[in-house]
């Protein structure tokens, strides 16, 4: 995974905030059921610190399940979209903090749960987990989850990933031999790890918009990113003239204390 100053990372994702907000996948219901089952924490009424919250994919799902969420992200544009989608004063509370997970501007012992959705791999392993432990109450739980393309389940998706690996210098994914899930399980005492498969039905244009939201695409010049997207669009339209893709994914979930 790429490393670098967190502020630079936030600015990088801010450049693709619209694409991220519009096209990144949500998490299937089975993820929340598994999180509750493994952690023993009832999401309804729990206080959760969602680190690297982005535009709020996990944040809003947790709020919909009754959690009081403190969303933390280093990207101003990303966090602004998260806040803009918050509805009504009568629902579960939401706090939004412009910061990063290596130095949480929160008091000790304020949370039942600290979550990292597609985010922990950008942080310092020791500092981030140390901060998570600090803000958790006794018995609190840390959870990391990642939505990952399951390229081995579809030839077209494996070919798509292989072309990205060949064309995009910063690509990191299943087409790279050294690729693996982030090693969050080694950073704390793991209760359980789970793989949760699911399938996303998505139009080609939204699939390509999702592609634009990834860090390796954001690092390209706008012109080069457009070239990559045009090439992928032509290939996908030729293979799927109906314009609809069935994308196999799996969520990696690691839960620990």
Predicted confidence at residue 16, as pLDDT, reads: 79
Average pLDDT over residues 220-249: 97
Q: Where are the domains of the chain?
A: 6-150+177-200+249-256
Q: Residue 37 and residue 191: Cα distance in Å, rounded?
A: 11
- Tell me which architecture the domain covering 6-150+177-200+249-256 has in CATH: 3-Layer(aba) Sandwich (3.40)
Quick: pLDDT tens for 48-91. Answer: 999 999 999 999 999 999 999 999 999 999 999 999 888 655 56
Residue 2 confidence (pLDDT) above 60? no
With a cut of 60, say whether residue 26 has pLDDT above it.
Answer: yes
Residue 194: CA count within 13 A, CB half-sphere: 19
On the question of pLDDT at 10 being above 60, the answer is no
Which pLDDT belongs to residue 99? Answer: 95
Instruction: Kindly report the pTM of this predicted structure.
Output: 0.91
Mean pLDDT, the chain, whole residue set: 92
Cβ–Cβ < 8 Å for 179, 216:
no
């Amino acid at each position: 995974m790429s490393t670098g100053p967190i502020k630079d990372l936030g600015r990088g994702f801010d450049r693709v905030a619209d694409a991220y907000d519009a096209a990144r996948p949500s998490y299937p219901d089975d993820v929340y059921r598994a999180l509750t089952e493994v952690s023993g924490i009832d999401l309804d009424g729990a206080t959760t610190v969602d680190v690297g919250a982005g535009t709020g994919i996990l944040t809003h799902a947790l709020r919909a399940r009754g959690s009081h969420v403190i969303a933390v992200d280093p990207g101003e544009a990303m966090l602004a979209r998260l806040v803009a989608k918050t509805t009504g004063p009568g629902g579960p509370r939401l706090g939004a903090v412009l910061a990063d997970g290596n130095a949480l501007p929160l008091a000790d012992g304020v949370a039942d749960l600290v979550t990292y959705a597609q985010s922990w791999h950008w942080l310092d392993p020791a500092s981030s987990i140390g901060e998570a432990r600090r803000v958790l109450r006794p018995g609190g739980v840390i959870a990391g989850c990642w939505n990952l393309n399951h390229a081995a389940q579809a030839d077209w998706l494996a070919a798509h990933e292989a072309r990205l690996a060949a064309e995009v210098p910063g690509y990191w994914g299943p087409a790279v031999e050294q690729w693996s899930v982030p090693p969050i399980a080694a950073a704390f005492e793991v209760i359980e790890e789970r793989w949760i498969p699911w399938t996303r039905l998505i139009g080609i244009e939204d699939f390509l918009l999702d592609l634009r939201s990834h860090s390796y695409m954001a690092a390209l010049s706008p012109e080069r990113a457009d070239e990559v997207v045009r090439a992928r669009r032509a290939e996908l339209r030729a293979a799927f003239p109906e314009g609809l893709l069935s994308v196999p994914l799996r969520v990696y979930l690691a839960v620990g204390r």
